[in-house]
Amino acid sequence: MSDYKYEEKEDFAGRKVKVLGPTYEEGKPEDRGDWRSKLGSREDALRYIRTAMRYWYSKEWYGSEKRKQEA
C-alpha cells in the first residue's frame, strides 16, 4: 500500500496540505481487476479488513447501529 501518490492542495482556510491523490489506475484493464493482490502482507490485509470491512471487524465502528447494549 506504499505506492500511493500524494498531492499538495489548499484547505478551506487557504493553508497548504498534503492529500491522497487519485487511487484509480489509468487505462482499460486487460486482466481481471485483481485489487486484492495489492494487499501484500498479512498486516496490510488485516488493516484493510479492520478499516474497509469495519462493519463487521472493527469495535470502533457502529454506523447506524450505535447502541448502549449489544443485541
Partner 1 sequence: MPDEKIRSIDKATLKLLEKAEKEKIGTVFSRADEIKPCPIGVEESCCKVCAMGPCRLPRSKKGEAKERVGVCGATIETIVARNFARKVAAGAASHSDHAREVVHTFIKTARGEAQGFAIKDEMKLLAVALDFGIAIEGREIKDIAMELGEKALKEFGKQDGELVYIGKAPLKRQELWKRLGVTPRGIDREVVEIMHRTHMGVDQDYKHLLLHAARTALADGWGGSMISTDLQDIMFGTPVPVLGSINLGVLKEDHVNVVVHGHEPLLPELLVVASRDPEVRKMTEDAGAKGINLAGMCCSANEVLMRHGIPCAGNFLQQELALITGAVELMTVDVQCEMQGLKNVAECFHTRLITTSDRAMIEGATHVEFHPEHGLDTAKKILKMAIENYPNRRHAVYIPDESRDMVAGFSHETINYLLGGLFRASYRPLNDNIMNGRIRGVAGVVGCNNVRTPHDSAHIAMIKELIRNDVLVLTTGCAAMACGKEGLLTPEAAKLYAGSGLAEVCEAVGIPPVLHLGSCVDNSRILMAATAMVKEGGLGDDLSDLPAAGAAPEWMSEKAIAIGQYFVASGVFTVFGTTWPTSGSEKVTRHLFEEYEELYKGMWAYEPDPVEAAQLMIRHIDKKRRALGIDKARDRVLFDMAMRRALD
Residues 6+ apart with CB under 8 A from 11: 17
For the chain, helix, strand, coil in percent to 5 are 30, 15, 55
**Which H helix or E strand runs over 48?**
helix 42-52
Please, which of residues 25-64 interact with partner 1 by CB under 8 A? 29, 32-36, 38-39, 42, 45-46, 48-49, 51-53, 55-57, 61, 63-64
For partner 1, the closer CB: 18 or 67: 67
Q: At closest approach, how far in Å is the CB of 38 from partner 1?
A: 6
Tell me if 40 sits within 8 A of 31, measured CB to CB. Answer: no
Give the residues lining the site for partner 1 (CB under 8 A): 1, 4, 10, 12, 20, 23-24, 29, 32-36, 38-39, 42, 45-46, 48-49, 51-53, 55-57, 61, 63-65, 67, 70-71
